[in-house]
Structure 1
Amino acid sequence: MNLKPIMSVIFSRQLNARFIPLINKLIIAALLLLLVGCTEQNSQPAFPNNAKGKHVQSFSQAKRILKDVYHDNTYSLYCNCRYLQRGKKLVPDLNSCGYQARKNAKRAARIEWEHIMPASYFGQRMSCWQQGGRKNCRRESELFRRMEADLHNLAPAIGEVNGDRSNFGFGNIRGESRRYGQCDMEIDFKKDLAEPPVRVRGDIARVYLYMARKYHISLSKNEQEQFTQWAKRDPVSRWEREKAKRVARFQDGPTPVDKNSQHNVF
């Protein structure tokens, strides 16, 4: 009797029983690595379609450009205070809006460029932020630099209000506990929430919806509903359209006043 075929089958079954589990483990590990890679990639904001178009190189450059963009509309976003340029500094006229410093008079005496959608809002979703915060993203990520310098997302604000708002989200705060004199800007430090004046809620909403659409940033369901409603209740103003035209000289792509930027689908 020839035992060779029988022994070959037995040996092959033993070999398969020994190595198939190992092969299966290797396949599973490879699939997990692929999934993690895809998840990491999808969690990052993507470049807009006009990645090769005109764009501002840095936040510092953006601030210089915005002085020109706002040269004849020198009012702060939240408090509607007039401001003047003295040398390189922008100085608010606090009497023009009845502003009273809450705590930081020194910072209240200057205008700063406020990120309507905070840099941390989009930055913390990026691996560069997780590995070293804002400074690291400025060094390592061209995408972050473009987002941080997006001219549509920047507006002049009283320095103290900019600092107090920090990276808080926008929403409705019960009551009228004003902290800045006649400036109708409310901040709840316990809930990390800011309530802007009604007159600029549409402006703010359209910027959020624009940033979300352009850079593929997911907004929460509550944010989507709130900003969509704010945008409808406070229509596009003449200044918003004018700013969009002026920004187009320095930056290509969509704007917050485009119809397709005013409605979010994420």
Structure 2
Amino acid sequence: MTRFISVLLISLLLASHAYSDTPTNFTAAKVIAKQKIFFDQAAGAEGELYCGCNWKWTGKSGGMIGPESCGYETRAQQHRADRIEWEHIVPAWIFGHQRQCWQNGGRNNCIADDPVFQAMEADLFNLYPSVGEVNGDRSNYQYGMVTGVASQYGACTTRVDFKGRTAEPRNDVKGLVARTTFYMYDRYGLSMSRQQQQLFMAWNRQYPVSAWEKEWNSRTAQVMGHPNPFVTGDRSWSLGHKPSREGVVSTVPVRAAAVSSVKATSNGLIIGNRNSKVYHLSTGCPSYDKVSAKNKVPFRSEAEASAAGYRRAGNCR
């Protein structure tokens, strides 16, 4: 009996130590992801997310890409092509908008006012190292099948359709992407279109869990305190899946009337006009609030807008 109690206490202490490392923000998540999950993967066979490239760790959470390891060729942004960035497989822009916090002040508002967004942004199951340029090109686009787009990154088979705002990752990670998406939408109560559900269900079947994905899940579970049940097989997704919402600890706080009355177009986003292919900044561009709702295309940066084929409005100061 004494031996049983001792073993139990040790197990509880180990579990408590592991879960104490759970990150509470994106910055901390990147550091922990490097130290406890991807620490030995820089020269691993799997490589980073989109192209399978190896990298060399630099700084607390960064890395420098070895393009020769994957046949990578820069499309347009050399400074980002050279470095590792941390990709949110389900973009923060998407879950921020579904949480409704983004519309009232952008990402900064979500971080300040929505604890569920904070948890989602720091969730290690949703973070994966990737080539910075592809991460930037993917932006907040949904995953999908891309046709009629020639090779953009040398031997890398990931494709980005800027006009259709769609990204198709390489086959080796399609199953991983699908199961990560299931996890995020299930745990945080997000809404997924029927078309997206069908696509990810197909990828889940076609590309089963690999040995590395199991290991990745195990390492991440040690930090987060729970596994991805769509990787372990304890949960499955079917059309009309009802999310568990296990990670939803609160609703979005109701802000003061003065804040809640701010127009959604004044949240700091860059707004593109789908017809004119011109973009407007939230400050210094007099036509920012004049783009019709049906023609609005939001961007997070001017570089993102330019990459999508948009140019800055001529009347911006």
TM range (shorter): 0.7 to 0.9
Identity in percent: 42
**Whole-Å separation in 1 of the counterparts to 2:23 and 2:49:** 22
User: Are 1:83 and 2:51 an aligned pair?
Assistant: no
Instruction: From 199, 218, 231, give the equivalent of 1:245.
Output: 218
Q: Which residue of 2 aligns with 1:56?
A: 23
Q: Which residue of 2 aligns with 1:50?
A: none
Q: Which residue of 2 aligns with 1:66?
A: 33
Q: Which residue of 2 aligns with 1:159?
A: 132
Q: In the alignment, residue 26 of structure 2 is paired with which amino acid?
A: F
Q: In the alignment, residue 77 of structure 1 is paired with which amino acid?
A: L
SS of the residue 2:237 aligns to:
coil
Q: Contact between 1:210 and 1:261, CA under 8 Å: does it hold in 2?
A: no
TM-score, normalised on structure 1? 0.77
**Whole-Å separation in 1 of the counterparts to 2:41 and 2:142:** 26
Q: Which residue of 1 aligns with 2:77?
A: 104
User: Are 1:263 and 2:230 an aligned pair?
Assistant: no
TM-score, normalised on structure 2? 0.65
- Equivalent runs, 1:1-266 vs 2, <5 Å: 55-68=22-35, 69-74=37-42, 75-88=47-60, 89-175=62-148, 177-255=150-228, 256-264=230-238, 265-266=241-242
Cα-to-partner distance string for 1:230-254 (whole Å, 9 max, x where unaligned) = 0111000111111111112221234
Q: Contact between 2:84 and 2:131, CA under 8 Å: does it hold in 1?
A: yes
Closer/same/farther in 2, CA of residues 122 and 260 from structure 1, 3 Å limit: farther
CA RMSD of aligned residues (A): 1.5
Q: Contact between 1:119 and 1:148, CA under 8 Å: does it hold in 2?
A: yes
Gaps of 5+ in 1: 1-52
Q: In the alignment, residue 23 of structure 2 is paired with which amino acid?
A: V
More helix by share: 1
Closer/same/farther in 2, CA of residues 108 and 168 from structure 1, 3 Å limit: same
Q: In the alignment, residue 195 of structure 1 is paired with which amino acid?
A: E
Closer/same/farther in 2, CA of residues 134 and 87 from structure 1, 3 Å limit: closer
Q: Contact between 1:201 and 1:234, CA under 8 Å: does it hold in 2?
A: yes
SS of the residue 1:248 aligns to:
helix
Gaps of 5+ in 2: 1-18, 243-317
Q: In the alignment, residue 66 of structure 1 is paired with which amino acid?
A: A
Q: Contact between 1:58 and 1:149, CA under 8 Å: does it hold in 2?
A: yes
Q: Contact between 2:91 and 2:140, CA under 8 Å: does it hold in 1?
A: yes
Aligned pair count reads 214
**Whole-Å separation in 2 of the counterparts to 1:175 and 1:107:** 25
SS of the residue 1:203 aligns to:
helix
Cα-to-partner distance string for 1:167-186 (whole Å, 9 max, x where unaligned) = 11111111351110110011
SS of the residue 2:94 aligns to:
helix
Q: In the alignment, residue 60 of structure 1 is paired with which amino acid?
A: T
Closer/same/farther in 2, CA of residues 60 and 201 from structure 1, 3 Å limit: same
Q: Which has the higher contact order (CA 8 A, sep 6+)?
A: 1
Q: Contact between 1:114 and 1:154, CA under 8 Å: does it hold in 2?
A: yes
Greater radius of gyration (CA): 1
SS of the residue 2:222 aligns to:
coil
Closer/same/farther in 2, CA of residues 87 and 122 from structure 1, 3 Å limit: closer
**Whole-Å separation in 2 of the counterparts to 1:143 and 1:157:** 25
SS of the residue 2:215 aligns to:
helix
Closer/same/farther in 2, CA of residues 170 and 127 from structure 1, 3 Å limit: closer
**Whole-Å separation in 2 of the counterparts to 1:261 and 1:103:** 41
Shift of 1:261: 4.1
**Whole-Å separation in 2 of the counterparts to 1:232 and 1:73:** 26
